[in-house]
Amino acid sequence: MSRLPVMSTKRVLTSSSSENSQEMAPMQKKMRKEQDPHKPQAAATIIGDKRPPAAAARASLYRPVRGAGAATVAAAPSRGVLRPTAASTAPKASNTKNAAATKPGGTGATRRQPWDLKGKVSDMEGKIRTYQTKFKSVNEENEALKGSVAQSQTKVAELEREVQSQKRKISEYEGELKKLSGVEKELEKEQSEKNVLQKELSNLEQKYKVIETLRDSQETELQTLKMKLSAQESTLARLQATLKETEEEVSSLKEMVAEQKDELHAGEMERRRLHNTIQELKGNIRVFCRVRPLEDGGLSKHIQLAASDNKSIMLAKSEESHTGKSADTQKNYHFSFDRVFGPQSSQQEIFDEISLLVQSALDGYNVCCFAYGQTGSGKTYTMEGEEIDDTRGVIPRAVQQIFKAGDKLQSQGWEFTFTASFVEIYNETLRDLLYKGKASKRPEHEIRKTANNEVSVTNLTYEKVYTEDQVLGLIALAKQNRSTAMTAQNDRSSRSHSVFQLQIEGVNAGRDIKCKSTLCLVDLAGSERMLKSQSQGERFKEMTCINSSLSNLGIVITSLANKESHIPYRNSKLTYLLQNCLGGNSKTLMFVNISPEPDSFGETLNSLRFASKVNDCVIGTASSNKK
Ligand SMILES: Nc1ncnc2c1ncn2[C@@H]1O[C@H](COP(=O)(O)OP(=O)(O)OP(=O)(O)O)[C@@H](O)[C@H]1O
């Protein structure tokens, strides 16, 4: 590495004797050159003679003539430094010749005579001494050089170490540089991210400013709200105090209401009891007579209503004297009923009298209302009426009253359910007037008695109704069904009974009371009698059926009045269907409708007689179907 002239370590570390001789070789060469530059090479080659040193020395001592003196200077041959050259093997004669020509010591001093060996030796010794001095100084120089070489080597080693450490540092720096380049990229990336973040930050700062503004306004609002809140809190505290007072009042009022409800319930029970007593006193079967007005208004002469009361009616018939000798005689027929309504009586007046019975139906009593009379006497008008308010009949008014009363009773804990049915009995056959299916698929009906002794009709429509309008819709449907039948068969409605039934079920869960009743509203077939000779075929059959069922109705009522053990309900479909409405547990009202026309006198008389018979009956005391 170092370019300094360094001697081989091998050479430096050889033994001192050989070392000296070896190191001397170049020196000797130098010196020879200095002393005798023109001396032939052969003189030097003598030094490298292979003879042993002793022999060489001897040769130098004892054969000076052959010019071997110079060879004796070399102490020992050096294998590595001096090799015998061709010159060393040159003939002795030429050597001698050359040696004689050379000045001793090479100094240019006077040439010794060949015989002056002593002088020559002395020259040689002088030279040797010179050489030794030089050798010594060279040696010292060499030592100094060695020291400096060692120092240089140490320095070199240090420098090498330093170089190594520098290299390591460089590689470390390079590694760090690489890392730093990565870091630089990261820094760039971070920088771009930083830019993005700064943008975001500036956006956020703007938003923050907006939010701060908002916050300020909201804080102001909050302050306002807080003020309002504190005001409202104080109001609330006041209200709470008031509420507490009110709650106390309410609870005391509730107690009072409960007491009053109890009182009301007791009152209601008492009302029912008294109502029933009144109805009983009036009679569980009552008969009202209603006279239809003449077409031009007014009343016909043969019908007279008592001015004093509204309970009696008189039919007067004047009979001409058969002989013509005596004056015409007038025969009067007096009838008394629970109430007689003249031709001017309105539908409302009629209903007012019935409404008490309708109330009884809600109280749990079976109620049955008939309209009896000849065709055209006003039965349907009385029961159904017309569609205009004032002319509405008993059925729609009763339905209205029942729903209204049912709603009222809700406040006393009553819940009512109503089920409606409408059936026609024609020639002892039942027909569903609420049937909505195909005429060809009309089912047949049978009257059955259930285990609870309740009467029901098979395949009949029993429709749950919740409103008055719903019932009115059913009545309209029944009318339509009847008119369809009427078209097919002239005047059929006059020759059939129509029975509207509303089953009423009431539950007072709070007091654990239930009641169940049926309101029956019946428009009977025309009661007119026809002479057997005039009735033929279908008409005769119709009349037979009507008369049979009407007379059976009379028989049943009479049997009930007489408290007979057997009541022949099964004798006709009508009485069988209405048996629960006619029995001891019911209240019955019969309208006897009469026509005012003089030519209806006979039929009117018959109707009044039938009604009078019914009116004479006192059916056993009714009892409410309460459980
Ligand atoms: N009180 C009355 N006031 C005014 N018009 C009446 C009254 N009663 C009946 N009418 C009228 O007389 C006619 C016959 O009455 P309605 O049809 O009610 O008799 P009906 O006894 O039901 O006959 P049918 O047995 O044939 O059904 C009808 O036009 C009806 O409007």
Please return the burial class of 130, using the count of CB atoms within 10 Å of its CB with bins 0-12, 13-18 and 19+.
Answer: middle
- Record the pTM: 0.59
Question: What's the confidence (pLDDT) of residue 356?
Answer: 84
Q: Nearest residue CA, atom 16 of ligand 1?
A: 378
Atom of ligand 1 nearest to the CA of 381: 18
Using alpha carbons only, what angle is made at residue 387 by residues 384 and 392, rounded to the nearest 5 degrees? 50
Question: What's the confidence (pLDDT) of residue 563?
Answer: 80
Q: How many whole angstroms from 343 Cα to the centroid of ligand 1?
A: 12
Residue 315 lies in a domain: no
Residue 209 lies in a domain: no
Q: How do the residues of the chain divide into helix, strand and coil, expressed in percent and rounded to 5?
A: 55, 15, 30
Helix ranges, 283-427 (H): 347-362, 379-383, 394-410
Query: Is the CB of residue 364 below 6 angstroms from any atom belonging to ligand 1?
Result: no
Residue 208 lies in a domain: no
Q: Is 380 annotated as a binding residue?
A: yes
Residues in the chain where the model's pLDDT stays below 50? 1-107, 532-533, 619-623
Note whether 312 and 306 are within 8 A (CB). Answer: yes
3-state secondary structure at position 156: helix
Residue 486 lies in a domain: yes
From 299, 380, 523, mutation site for ligand 1 pocket: most ligand atoms within 8 A of C-beta: 380
Amino acid code (one letter) for 366: N
Note whether 590 and 379 are within 8 A (CB). Answer: no
Query: Is the CB of residue 380 below 6 angstroms from any atom belonging to ligand 1?
Result: yes
Note whether 372 and 593 are within 8 A (CB). Answer: yes
Q: Which domain CATH number covers 553?
A: 3.40.850.10
Residue 135 lies in a domain: yes
Q: How many whole angstroms from 26 Cα to the centroid of ligand 1?
A: 177
Out of 153, 178, 199, pick the residue that ends a domain: 153
Residue 197 lies in a domain: no
Question: What's the confidence (pLDDT) of residue 454?
Answer: 85
Q: How many whole angstroms from 618 Cα to the centroid of ligand 1?
A: 29
**d(C-alpha 470, C-alpha 102), whole Å:** 173
| Structural domain count of the chain | 2
Structural domain for 350, as ranges: 283-290+331-615
Q: What is the DSSP track for 113-137?
A: PTT-HHHHHHHHHHHHHHHHHHHHH
Q: How many whole angstroms from 393 Cα to the centroid of ligand 1?
A: 11
Residue 51 lies in a domain: yes
Give the ipTM. Answer: 0.98
3-state secondary structure at position 288: strand
Query: Which 3-state string (H, E, C) describes 426-472?
Result: ECCEEEECCCCCCHHHCCCCCEEECCCCCEEECCCCCEEECCHHHHH
Out of 153, 188, 215, pick the residue that ends a domain: 153
Residue 108 lies in a domain: yes
3-state secondary structure at position 498: strand
**d(C-alpha 166, C-alpha 73), whole Å:** 53
Q: Two tokens at 450?
A: 């259930």
Question: What's the confidence (pLDDT) of residue 302?
Answer: 87
Q: Is 318 annotated as a binding residue?
A: no
From 381, 425, 479, mutation site for ligand 1 pocket: most ligand atoms within 8 A of C-beta: 381
Question: What's the confidence (pLDDT) of residue 281?
Answer: 60
Residue 169 backbone dihedrals phi, psi, to 5 degrees: -60, -40
- What does each C-alpha distance from 340 to 7, 336, 428, 522 come to in angstroms? 172, 8, 31, 19
From 288, 290, 292, 542, mutation site for ligand 1 pocket: most ligand atoms within 8 A of C-beta: 292
Out of 153, 174, 198, pick the residue that ends a domain: 153
